[in-house]
Chain A
């Protein structure tokens, strides 16, 4: 058992982090020179979605705080991993961006010495969602942090953070976890059979959270199957529009489903904190605070909806990738092996050029949704392009 167990298929990166942790421990003992060479004060961890960037950030934070360099069992390790450690700040957002006001507060905390004497670790899990001002506000603090402060930023790619931040951090790249490693992890932690684990690992394409959901939840698998039926149903213009509508509605439904549970709980907690329903005067800004929360929840639901859509589009891209594999006789393993016959038939009916254009249309749709184009409209343009080929 160690804090690194959760990082599936990232052995090279784990090696680098472990060296860094030893270096940090050496520095705490007062050594310098070669013994501390592996450590630095600012890290940028990048990797594709679901590869475990934020897990890596947390594990690193835990190992830094742990007296045994990441045993995973001591109090330090457990509190750091859960986010309860007083010297580890985990910054993430469920909204579309991290605002400069939040970052200013963080910088203040970063300037303090650690309460328990080891390190003050600041983990920004969504560095790609920093607004420009927020990123600018961070620069000074990242360049010259306090003697015991360590910044760990996580982002999908280096291009997602501004160059000025990039140049102040040491870069650590996580790879897409290999399918066998993910499958092995699924069977080990969830106890699912090898076939299901293999399917989930392949279908998730290295996204560990997605693989877990696919292995665990029948409805998630069903939704994915529905999405993958889309290309085979595009017979005419009407069918294209209908498919787009179904995709949009399914995304909205799923986002609403996951939001409903959380929203209600948050609202209840806020109302209790404000003393709604008790005797006595209501605080003057109570209604405003509730409204504020509702707005935040709305923004979050919107982001979830977009995330779901993006995932559907990635699944579709994988399908066309399989078609292309068959058409070009590349011989690599199919991601959607269970749809083998349909894929082969589809491959025979169409040309590789068409498949490439279809994959481009999917990429354009992802970009359009990112650009805030009305999702339904973007999906319609996409299904029409898929149909036209």
Chain B
């Protein structure tokens, strides 16, 4: 979902500036229909919660109904949107809009055209192609939209900075980047970390030291980091990385496939005929040209015999993690040790 589709968009959910603005003026109010779209459930939930909070501020008797759009039928919808007997102010949250039964679409659009004054309707669509027709029609009816797409990896520090500003703290760019490195890419975890840091910083700017103190060493480790360390022959760091990776939920098969890919490239590089031009060499090895530099570095200390041993160990480990042995963790550790010891073998 790109930014700027339709006139009704009021902002991206993760953009702190928008949230601030929303608190002041453009807050959802009774009589609105608010559309929340996008696959990031954390942000969608937050948008829904803040909309409910905005409507029920200073009131005690706002009635909130929260249900899946798939369960909706004409009777239920009429009951929920019709005038209330007790004239209470109400919020209706319809989740998973993509599951809305087709026959309900006209009723929903009709309501969006003429919403009730004492009611806020929040429609939550989980992103994706399903139910796109309804979205387009709703956008034409110019309802307000909040886009809850996950920020891109490089936008995460910005998300952190916004988050912390929102909570009343301050953080510099380096600190935000360090926090992302330490906590990982999960928005819930990041938001939790931000609120913890702000409440414990005592009004000071949040420093990288504080981040290190709270989240030191918990960086996200990819399977490639494990493979790189093992291929460089650094046994202990490789084992440490492996443990982190497995604890972070990296699947065992990804570790074996990263290792296999790394060794394959290396073996092809070191047995390629000498005197090839860069581009030809890259084609021969089957890697992008920029990777050749890394391979050249890695290839030092590897003999064909060592590589052969390593590749066979990886094949064995791949079978082991796919059920040939009982303990995938042990199989991977044995593989990492075999591979890193094969490095530098004469």
Contacts and interface: CB of A to CB of B under 8 A. Distances in A.
Contacts of A381: 311-312, 314-316
Given A284-B102, A371-B322, A238 B315 contact: no
A374 B312 contact: no
A388 B304 CA distance: 11
Interface string A53-64: 000000000000
A368 B319 contact: yes
A374 B264 contact: no
Contact of A236 (B271, B311, B316): B271
B322 A241 contact: no
A374 B264 CA distance: 13
Contacts of B271: 236-239, 241
A372 B322 contact: yes
A373 interface: yes
B318 interface: yes
B279 interface: no
B144 to A, nearest CB: 29
Interface string B301-316: 0001001100110111
Contacts of A374: 256-257, 260, 318
A16 to B, nearest CB: 38
Contacts of B257: 374, 377
* Most chain A C-beta atoms within 10 Å of own C-beta, residue among B304, B314, B315: B315
Given A238-B268, A388-B308, A377 B260 contact: yes
Contact of A378 (B264, B304, B315): B315
Contacts of A284: 102
Interface size class of A (residues with CB under 8 A): 20 to 34
A384 B322 contact: no
B167 interface: no
A380 B102 CA distance: 53
Contact of A373 (B307, B308, B315): B315
Interface string A375-389: 011101100110110
B315 A377 contact: yes
A165 B256 CA distance: 38
Nearest to A382: B315
Nearest to B273: A238
A387 B267 CA distance: 15
B314 A377 contact: yes
Contacts of A238: 267-268, 270-272
Interface string A32-61: 000000000000000000000000000000
Contacts of B319: 368, 371, 373, 378
Contacts of B316: 381
Contacts of B26: none
Contacts of B314: 377, 381
Interface residues of B, number: 23
Contact of B315 (A237, A239, A368): A368
B75 interface: no
B264 A241 contact: yes
Given A236-B304, A284-B102, A377 B318 contact: yes
A384 B323 contact: no
* Most chain B C-beta atoms within 10 Å of own C-beta, residue among A236, A241, A372: A241
Contacts of B264: 241, 376, 380
B114 interface: no
A379 B318 CA distance: 12
Interface in B254-270: 256-257, 260, 264, 267-268, 270
B205 interface: no
B252 to A, nearest CB: 13
Interface in A352-385: 368, 371-374, 376-378, 380-381, 384-385
A377 to B, nearest CB: 5
Contacts of B80: none
A265 B89 CA distance: 57
Contact of A237 (B102, B308, B318, B324): B308
A126 B308 CA distance: 38
A236 B273 CA distance: 12
Contacts of A239: 271
Given A371-B324, A385-B312, A388-B308, A241 B267 contact: yes
A284 B264 CA distance: 47
A293 to B, nearest CB: 18
* Most chain B C-beta atoms within 10 Å of own C-beta, residue among A238, A376, A377: A377
A254 B329 CA distance: 36
B262 to A, nearest CB: 12
B268 A241 contact: yes
Nearest to A380: B311
Contacts of A380: 260, 264, 311, 315
Nearest to B316: A381
A368 B322 CA distance: 10
B133 to A, nearest CB: 12
A244 to B, nearest CB: 9
Contacts of A237: 267, 270-271, 304, 307-308
Contacts of A241: 264, 267-268, 271
A150 to B, nearest CB: 36
Contacts of B324: 371
Given A368-B319, A377-B315, A381-B311, 13 more contacts: A236-B304, A237-B304, A238-B267, A238-B272, A239-B271, A241-B271, A368-B318, A373-B318, A374-B318, A376-B264, A377-B260, A377-B314, A388-B308
Interface of A: 236-241, 284, 368, 371-374, 376-378, 380-381, 384-385, 387-388
15 contacts: A237-B267, A238-B268, A241-B267, A371-B322, A372-B322, A372-B323, A373-B315, A373-B322, A374-B257, A374-B260, A374-B318, A377-B257, A377-B314, A380-B260, A381-B312
